[in-house]
Amino acid sequence: MATSLYERVARLHGHRPWGQVLDAGTGPASIRWLESLDSERWTAVTGSERMREKSHAALQQPMREQDRLLTGNWMDPALLQDEQFDVVLADYLLGAIEGFAPYWQDKLFPRVRPLVRSRLYLIGLQPYVQGLPDTDAGRLINEIGRLRDACLLMAGDSPYREYPLDWTLRHLEAASFRVVDAHVLPITYGARFIQSQLAMCTQAANKLQDRRLAVALLQHVAELEARALAASQQLGGLAHGSDYLVVAEPA
């Protein structure tokens, strides 16, 4: 059984107490992991009220009195002002923040730094929409990502803007973090990824006023989904790119 990224975080944390924990960009998966920790209290933040509702619905048990699930924007200096947490999890936050604070990624780590008392665990995704990969699986993942982002932009939405590991390490150090460890973790994408990413294209196409364009996009989405699902089944998944997990502490 594959080890999840959250299990890797727990292994890296070892026997250290969790104390007070902040999930700086929460969602259903991370909040379920958050509530499983032996923490004193936790706080989870999302920029979307819809995501806050989805995250709350994903909880396996009632929130403790001391726990909090908040909607907020990291550009707001009042958000968690003067608070500190023993552990901060930034789970794909760097890529997702584009939709809430565009072109603000270089400010994120300095903004988070005062909140971290002991450790920051940062999970990111190596960008996969640039260039032309040299494998069939890579080209399909690249094509899915490009089509998804194009559809979102045409519908007036903002796609994620992922940043590579070397960018992340430089900016963590510039924000007075000391990088303790870093892991690069290869990804194999399956049917759930293919269908979920292309479903975003379908939703975006349904917003377009130009219905001839929308129909052409929907036809292309269906064709690409069929090709990608067939290739994934044949290859046992589409192996391409990687996640990364960085452990950092206040310098």
Residue 172 one-letter amino acid:
L
Rg (CA), the chain: 19
Q: How far is CA 78 from CA 21, 66, 72, 73, 111, in A?
A: 19, 20, 10, 10, 11
pLDDT of 19 over the 60 cut: yes
Average pLDDT over residues 137-164: 95
Both tokens assigned to 231: 């290739």
What pLDDT sits at residue 99?
87
| pTM listed for this prediction | 0.93
For 44-60, what is each residue's pLDDT tens digit? 999 999 999 999 999 99
Q: What is the DSSP letter of 63?
A: P
Long-range contacts of 144-147 (CB under 8 A, 24+ apart): 144/194, 144/197, 144/198, 144/224, 144/228, 145/197, 147/198, 147/201, 147/220, 147/221, 147/224
Average pLDDT over residues 166-189: 97
Mean per-residue pLDDT over the chain, rounded: 96
What pLDDT sits at residue 1?
39
Given a contact cutoff of 8 angstroms between Cβ atoms, the answer to whether 194 and 144 are in contact is: yes
Percentage of the chain modeled with pLDDT above 90: 96
Average pLDDT over residues 91-99: 93
